[in-house]
Structure 1
Amino acid sequence: MLTSSDLPALLRIITNGITAIESSCTQRGIRYPSLDDSLTPESLAIQESLAEEALPVIAAAHQVMATLMSSRSFHQKIIYGSQQSVAIGVAEAGHVAEILREAGPKPTALSPRKLSHYLRFLTTLHVFKEISPDVFANNRRSAVLDTGKSVKEILADPDAKYDGAPGAAAITGTNSDEFLKGAGHTVDTLLDPATSHSQESADSPLQRAFGKKMDLFAWYELPGNELRLRRFGHAMRGVQLKASILGGFDWAALLQGSVVVDVGGGFGGLDLELAKDHKHLQYICQDRPQVAEQANKMWRDQGNQDVISGVVKFQPHDFFGPQPVKNAAVFYMRYILHDWSDAHCIEILTQLRASATPDTKLVVIDALLQNNCLSDGKWKHIPGGEAEVAPAPLLPNFGIAKSDEAYVDILVMTVTNTQERTLDEVNTLLEATGWKLERVHRFPPPSLPQVVAIPV
């Protein structure tokens, strides 16, 4: 007996979801932004406000593609996925978004004929649009590459291209350079008996690619990597999302003058974002001496008043050593633990626990991997402990719609030889270092969750 395919159910999910989105927009007197609209704070806000409604629609649409595409075609889209990174990297390196914004022919080091092929490929992914043969324009997707600077300004000082820019261009450049080079050595690294079972960052595919044996951050500080380090700092600042920072944890409830320590905070983008709304707090951004010095100088040169006034301070510190701040109300870590093995994470968390007061909170922002099967309910007693499960016949973890954490999981295996973790795995680290899981704040993607812990 033939059984019904999943297609009708997927169609209902798509139809119901789009109807809900359109209805919400109508009630609010707004229009959902199209791909041809400009990328503005207003269009971003509309999209973010409807992110939860969009999740099942995105998941269902991709499942329809997986169902209807031929196996050969679907397979090719996967194996040639690296070409997407290459093409968008070419567009970023050629300053294409800025050139198109200025709406006229501008000098570029790239071959116009070759560039047109890369751009046409990107238009098939809805990045840029071809308005006539070999004539391209920005759209909402390509506009994220725009630093907002003039082409003349970029060409006059290429090293400063990413300074003060939103960050998407920086992460694109980083990915198409060192990250992509590392990815090309992943299979060799995994098959080599000397590195296949290693948990050390020195044995990452990226280190193999560049012929080095050190952790990622020491590598960034090598002579010749100055621009890469500068770009990486801007890239990490660019991937921060307000929901992951301003949402969830109740910053307003902290007492006047409470100290917030951003452990491994890089260029301090998180602290500067928090300081906009919470001037009653004192922020200490800790990182390696070279990073802390560069960040402090950059923000002072740009006239940032929170840095100049001392609301935000930069402190050189190695988080594997004793934590110098003994009165922290909050120790905050964003994208830190996923860069280190369990053994190294235990070192980091142990140092923080040793300096914590009985009232100190630990807030960790990292991806939480969700199994692609139904939950056993183990964490239902913890607020936010159980992730939302998608309705059937969707993949339980929403598949492509919530795949950011899965992509980052593979990325960190490439660049630091580590992994993202499930809540079980994070809790194991907390229990081993004297911390107790209190709650999890979850947000619609692409924002990552906050794990909040307290001293035992």
Structure 2
Amino acid sequence: MADQETKAQQDRIAKALSQVAADGSKFQKDPEARKELVASARELLDAAETPVESLLWHIWALPTRTVAARIAVDLKLFETATSNNGSPKTNEQFAAATGASPSLVKRITRTCASMNMLDEQGPGIYGPNALTKLLAQPQYAAGIIFCFDTTQNSFAQMPGYLRNTKFQNPESPVDGPFQFANKHNGHAFTWLTAHPEVFAAFHGYVHTLRTHRPAWTEMYPVKERLVEDLKMDASAFVDLGGGVGQTLQDFNKAVPEYTGRLVLQELGEVIGAATAMGVGEDKRIELQVHDFFTPQPIRGARAYFMRSVLHDWPDEQCRQILTHVKDAMEPGYSRILISDCVLADEKAAWQHMALDFYMMAQASSQERTETEWHVLIESCGLKIAGIYTKDQGNEGLIEVVIP
């Protein structure tokens, strides 16, 4: 039996090696093939590891990497590593940045080096690599701050929460894993606005991450659907729950021929943050305080845009949001544009499944498959006119109209 298992593993490794070689050759001629090479390299690693090695990676390495990265951000290790043109530094030099104990810093730096977040260049001497340089930038370190501070406690308590509910799917946005873990009675968003550092990290990280992914304007026929036949008396492009306005700013740059109104709708505290950042000073973007659980004040808009909004809410709340928008739409002219993940029914991308767990932990919500999107949209008396996607693991664009 052992010989059969060894032979099966050897065959799998040989097949994976062959695929890596093929994808490597393809990458030499076509840089766009890099993602295929990464996928085949992961398959090779999975094939070559023993089950015990895989187990230890999951229960030892991954949790350690996460907490070490969060502590490293507080200790300014990545910023220090890249200072002075990235010259090699000792643990004492790293410790000096925050006055931390060199003994503690030593434990963090060598852990980061073992996880490829720093380059070890000698005993107790470290320099930056490509990942270090990325994490030294505040907008990327913000991803570590937000994901850790908002979610790790919920992840740690999620098994206990699910045991407590006899393993029912979380469906209440104010009584889920986040509230159970944080002894918090409100929505996770309420907690977020009460923690300014994490709130700022959220907006910085989310926008920065999207600059590395296909823009929705690259997938969706913007000129045909939005610019042509635009009525100037009903021209609004409304971004519901649009944060501090980055999406509208990007849209304005990407589609300068769209001459209609650009309206950012958000809760008062977020509009306040956008105002403080200078959004709307040039009058191109209008700022409007609005709760999307109340009737939509702008009627007959050209488009009602929601990016990563509906994945924040269970179906019941999504139906409330969509119904309010539907009531304001002009049939045959208005459309809802939903920028969110569209999960594959089979072999879903790991990025989508990771986000699904994050949303369960934070908001008792979920990512949805194409079938689930159809069911949700049609339950509101609306119709999906098209779903536009590009590459695995990215957000899609769902166009919704009144039938």
Q: Give the TM-score of the pair, scaled to structure 1.
A: 0.77
Which of 203, 206, 217 is matched with 1:233 structurally? 203
How far the C-alpha of 1:169 sits from its partner, in A, is 1.6
Aligned to 1:248: 219
Aligned to 1:84: 65
Q: Return 318-327 or 356-365, whichever deviates more.
A: 356-365
Task: Output the CA distance in 1 between the equivalents of 2:238 and 2:262.
Answer: 6
What amino acid does structure 2 have at the position aligned with 1:249? Y
Aligned to 1:69: 49
Return closer, same or farther for 1:198/1:405 CA change in 2, 3 Å cut-off: closer
Which of 126, 129, 147 is matched with 2:119 structurally? 129
Which of 133, 144, 162 is matched with 1:190 structurally? 162
Aligned to 1:209: 181
Q: Return 336-345 or 168-177, whichever deviates more.
A: 168-177
1:315 counterpart = 2:288: yes
Which of 416, 423, 447 is matched with 2:370 structurally? 423
Aligned to 2:359: 412
Q: Is the 8 A contact 1:85 1:175 kept in 2?
A: no
Which of 283, 287, 294 is matched with 2:262 structurally? 283
Which of 236, 243, 251 is matched with 1:266 structurally? 243
1:142 counterpart = 2:132: yes
Q: Give the TM-score of the pair, scaled to structure 2.
A: 0.86
How far the C-alpha of 1:198 sits from its partner, in A, is 4.2
Aligned to 1:391: none
Task: Output the CA distance in 2 between the equivalents of 1:203 and 1:239.
Answer: 29
Task: Output the CA distance in 2 between the equivalents of 1:249 and 1:111.
Answer: 53
Q: Deviations over 1:398-422 (max 9, x none)?
A: xxxx311111111111111111111
Q: Return 247-256 or 267-276, whichever deviates more.
A: 247-256
Query: Aligned ranges for residues 109-128 of structure 1 at < 5 Å?
Result: 109-128=99-118
Q: Tell me the SS of whatever aligns to 1:90.
A: helix
**Comparing both chains, which one has the higher relative contact order based on Cα–Cα distances under 8 Å and sequence gaps of 6 or more?**
1
Q: Deviations over 1:40-76 (max 9, x none)?
A: xxxxxxxxxx2xx233322222222222212111011
Task: Output the CA distance in 2 between the equivalents of 1:272 and 1:109.
Answer: 40
Which of 298, 301, 304 is matched with 1:325 structurally? 298
Task: Output the CA distance in 2 between the equivalents of 1:447 and 1:56.
Answer: 15
Q: Tell me the SS of whatever aligns to 2:206.
A: helix
What amino acid does structure 1 have at the position aligned with 2:11? S
Task: Output the CA distance in 2 between the equivalents of 1:124 and 1:246.
Answer: 40
Which of 362, 368, 392 is matched with 2:342 structurally? 368
Q: Is the 8 A contact 1:244 1:450 kept in 2?
A: no
Task: Output the CA distance in 2 between the equivalents of 1:213 and 1:194.
Answer: 21
Q: Deviations over 1:212-270 (max 9, x none)?
A: 12111122234xx2333233232332332351333112334433663211111111111
Return closer, same or farther for 1:97/1:299 CA change in 2, 3 Å cut-off: farther
Task: Output the CA distance in 2 between the equivalents of 1:309 and 1:122.
Answer: 44
Aligned to 1:343: 316
Q: Tell me the SS of whatever aligns to 1:333.
A: strand
Task: Output the CA distance in 1 between the equivalents of 2:167 and 2:47.
Answer: 38
Q: Deviations over 1:16-58 (max 9, x none)?
A: 1111111235xxxxxxxxxxxxxxxxxxxxxxxx2xx233322
Task: Output the CA distance in 1 between the equivalents of 2:253 and 2:101.
Answer: 44
Task: Output the CA distance in 2 between the equivalents of 1:298 and 1:370.
Answer: 38
How far the C-alpha of 1:109 sits from its partner, in A, is 4.3
Quote the sequence identity (%).
20
Q: Is the 8 A contact 1:268 1:285 kept in 2?
A: yes
Return closer, same or farther for 1:24/1:197 CA change in 2, 3 Å cut-off: closer
Q: Tell me the SS of whatever aligns to 2:30.
A: helix
How far the C-alpha of 1:364 sits from its partner, in A, is 1.3
1:181 counterpart = 2:153: yes
Task: Output the CA distance in 2 between the equivalents of 1:17 and 1:328.
Answer: 47
Q: Is the 8 A contact 1:284 1:315 kept in 2?
A: yes
Could you tell me which runs of 5 or more consecutive residues in structure 2 were left unpaired when the two chains were aligned: 88-92
Task: Output the CA distance in 2 between the equivalents of 1:17 and 1:194.
Answer: 46
Task: Output the CA distance in 2 between the equivalents of 1:215 and 1:440.
Answer: 30
Q: Return 232-241 or 89-98, whichever deviates more.
A: 232-241
Larger Rg: 2
What amino acid does structure 2 have at the position aligned with 1:354? D
Q: Tell me the SS of whatever aligns to 1:309.
A: coil
Q: Return 195-204 or 354-363, whichever deviates more.
A: 195-204
Aligned to 2:396: 449
- RMSD (Å), alpha carbons: 2.3
Task: Output the CA distance in 2 between the equivalents of 1:119 and 1:444.
Answer: 35
What amino acid does structure 2 have at the position aligned with 1:247? E
